Amino acid sequence: MRASVLRLGALCLDSVRSASRALDRQNVAVAARVIAGDDEIKALWRSVEAGCIEMIWKQQPVANELREIAGMLQIVNDLGRIGERAVEIAKATIKLADVAKKPALGEVDAMAGLAVEMLANAIRAYDQGSLDLADKVIQRADDIDDHHRLGIATLGSEMEADATVVAAGTILLFVLADLERVADLAQNIAWKTKDIYPL
């Protein structure tokens, strides 16, 4: 079951990374592949979730085993929701293809890079049982918040200065929210890793 959780983590990480690159490069084809790949993520999400519930029901685990299975169940749910955010970012890329003028993507790209880094480290922390890596993810909370605030301020200033970028800017504000949510869910995974592998 643990291998399936890691497989789901790899799929979701690839989905977020691909969606972010598609946005940066305005690559609609890659964005479409992210959306198409969501079926595999959802199927694996449901399968692992059902497997965890079945293990609890049939094996009636106690103490450490129960904590690990319950943690896996929570992590799988977080990963599934991360996959959903990646799809929303991919959809935003496709919407932006129809917009003539777009604001600069600098802050969005920076936030995407940090969110991907946090997710990758959270998955590694779970895989390796590394509390140090989990702590590093949790400690980036202020950084992601700073990027989010700066991104909103930058987009707001550009939209105020040039009404022709308002349509694209509004789409990108939602992307910032999606990226913040990815980072929040990565932190959830880090916290749950600390629960599974206590000191």
CA distances from 142 to 17, 77, 99, 138 (A): 21, 24, 32, 9
Residue pair 129/64 in contact by the 8 Å Cβ criterion: no
The contacts of residue 4 (CB under 8 Å, 6+ apart) are 44, 47, 48, 51
Picking from 127, 9, 1, 6, the residue whose alpha carbon sits closest to that of residue 55 is: 1
Position 64, amino acid? N
Give the CATH fold of the 2-196 domain.
Answer: Methane Monooxygenase Hydroxylase; Chain G, domain 1 (1.20.58)
Q: State the pLDDT at residue 106.
A: 85
Question: CA-to-CA distance for 187 and 171, rounded, in angstroms?
Answer: 25
Residue 134 token pair: 């989990």
- Write the DSSP assignment of 95-160 as a string of letters: HHTT-S-----HHHHHHHHHHHHHHHHHHHHHHHT-HHHHHHHHTTHHHHHHHHHHHHHHHHHHHH
pLDDT digits (tens, 9 = 90+) for 126-160: 999 999 999 999 999 999 999 999 999 999 999 99
Q: What's this model's pTM, rounded to 2 decimal places?
A: 0.93
Q: State the pLDDT at residue 199.
A: 60
Q: State the pLDDT at residue 63.
A: 73
pLDDT < 70 stretches in the chain: 199
Residue 32 token pair: 């479409």
Kindly report the length of the chain.
Answer: 199
Where do the domains of the chain lie? 2-196
Q: State the pLDDT at residue 12.
A: 98
Count of C-beta atoms within a 10 Å radius of residue 198: 8
Q: State the pLDDT at residue 89.
A: 98
